[in-house]
Amino acid sequence: MSQNLEKIKSPLDMEPLTIEIHEVEAASRSNTARNDLILMAVFSAVVLASPWVLAPFGAAYPDLLQRFCIFGIFAIGFNIMFGLTGYLSFGHAAFLGIGSYAAVWSFKLLTMNAIPALFFGVVCAGLFSALIGYVCLRRAGIYFSILTLAFAQMSYNLAYSVLTPITNGETGLQLTLGDARMVDAAFGVERTSSLPITNLFGIKMSGYEGFYLCAIILIISFYISIRIFRSPFGMMLRGIKTNQNRMSYTGINTRPYLLAAFVVSGMYAGLAGSLMAVTDPLAGAERMQWTASGEVVLMTILGGAGTLLGPVLGAGVIKYFENIFSSFNKGILHSAFEFLPDGVADFMVTITHPFVGEGWHLTLGVLFMFIVIFLPGGLMEGAQRIGNLFTGGGKSNADSRSGQTQPAE
């Protein structure tokens, strides 16, 4: 270190050192930009091709693909709050539910077109999260988590009972034949004898068409999240996570930064909620329940909080387990262990049976436990370690951590 000082003090050395460092820095900056572009391209390609990519895993049916995308968006948004600032919200499902209700009301009152539904879903969730965030962000740490949880449970109970005229309580908000649909009526859309279907300027929003809408919105959401991660705003949020005191003594007012991050992530949740309504036009209070809030926390931590790709990965893994593992039964297990001798096969079936079907949560729990213990940075840390094995692993740990992949606390 004293050598460094010497080097800089000497006027002869100063020039070349300065130029060299500044050049390296500029190069590394353009490297980041290039890597982001590659990441974006690969991500888009995989998402758009997922009906083929996921076919070998038995997950390539539109209903599940839509859910991958929707929960991917939800988790990306959650990660902007939790991954960047470290503030763990336990009430994001409330915004998801509000997005759904707003979207269904847009279908009922205005039009079956998806665009206004998405718009109102995002705006309502944004307003609501500004309100909740303003109150909850007066506290940090565990108190913040409890406050958000309390608000979400309050929202759930309001939706379930008190606000029945708006939410239709227990039954859930559904389309009816008698809905006004004023905009549709004004444009002379014919009333049918069956319930109308959501559409995007005439393209019906179920099946693969619905999936492609979700996929495109997921890609846009992912792009926005990259922009936020690479912006000065994102850097400030990471600063808040690392040392909030220093931020204050550095002249940063942390509260508006946190509130802005909270609203942005609430809007993401609203977007995900309204997409749920677009692909299946009903909204129920159970979407706001605390288990739904917990699920997005699991997704983000499982994938890797604070990483770009992690939350989407986590959402995919959890939804895959929920849909595929839960559908396994003894018959499928028997055929899977067919190649083993009879006694051994029976034994294997007995051992694995509790972990599939109804018991898929057990598998998820075990997986979650192992990941949190051995890979605190989530699946992304695992991927990075495997990557390091192939590239020689000699790269400095610090360098690889300084970029996008910051392991969770």
Partner 1 sequence: MAILEVSGVNKRFGGLKALTDVNLSVKESSVHAIIGPNGAGKSTLLNCLIGKLEPDSGVVNFNGTSLLGGITPHEINQLGVCRVFQTPEVFGDMSLLENVMIPSFAKHDGNFRFNGWGSIAKRGEVSEEALSMLEEVGLADQRNVITDSLSRGDKRRLELAMCLIQHPKLLLLDEPTAGMSRADTNNTIDLLKKIGERGITKIIIEHDMHVVFSLAERISVLAQGTVIVEGEPEAIKGDPRVIEAYLGGELG
Contacting residues toward partner 1, per CB under 8 A = 1-2, 4-5, 7-8, 17-18, 21-22, 25, 28-30, 32-33, 227-228, 230-236, 238-239, 242-243, 245-254, 256-257, 260, 264, 398-399, 401-402, 406
Cα separation, 98 vs 104, in Å, equals 10
H/E stretch holding 283 reads strand 282-283
Q: Judge contact between 216 and 208, C-beta under 8 A.
A: no
Closest approach, Cβ 264 to partner 1, in A, equals 7
Select 35 or 350, whichever has its Cβ closest to partner 1: 35
| Residue 376 CB partners (closer than 8 Å, separation 6+) | 407, 408
Q: Rounded to 5 degrees, what angle do the CA atoms 230, 232, 237 make?
A: 90
Select 199 or 400, whichever has its Cβ closest to partner 1: 400
Cα separation, 200 vs 213, in Å, equals 9
Cα separation, 321 vs 75, in Å, equals 16
Select 2 or 194, whichever has its Cβ closest to partner 1: 2
How many helices and strands (H and E) does the chain possess? 20, 4
Cα separation, 244 vs 236, in Å, equals 10
Q: What are phi and psi of 381, to 5 degrees?
A: -65, -40
Cα separation, 128 vs 135, in Å, equals 11
Q: Give the residue from 105, 118, 123, 119 showing the smallest Cα distance to 181.
A: 105
Cα separation, 351 vs 345, in Å, equals 10
Closest approach, Cβ 380 to partner 1, in A, equals 15
Closest approach, Cβ 23 to partner 1, in A, equals 11
Select 231 or 329, whichever has its Cβ closest to partner 1: 231
Closest approach, Cβ 239 to partner 1, in A, equals 5
Closest approach, Cβ 5 to partner 1, in A, equals 4
Closest approach, Cβ 16 to partner 1, in A, equals 12
Cα separation, 266 vs 218, in Å, equals 15
Closest approach, Cβ 221 to partner 1, in A, equals 13
Q: What are phi and psi of 90, to 5 degrees?
A: -110, 25
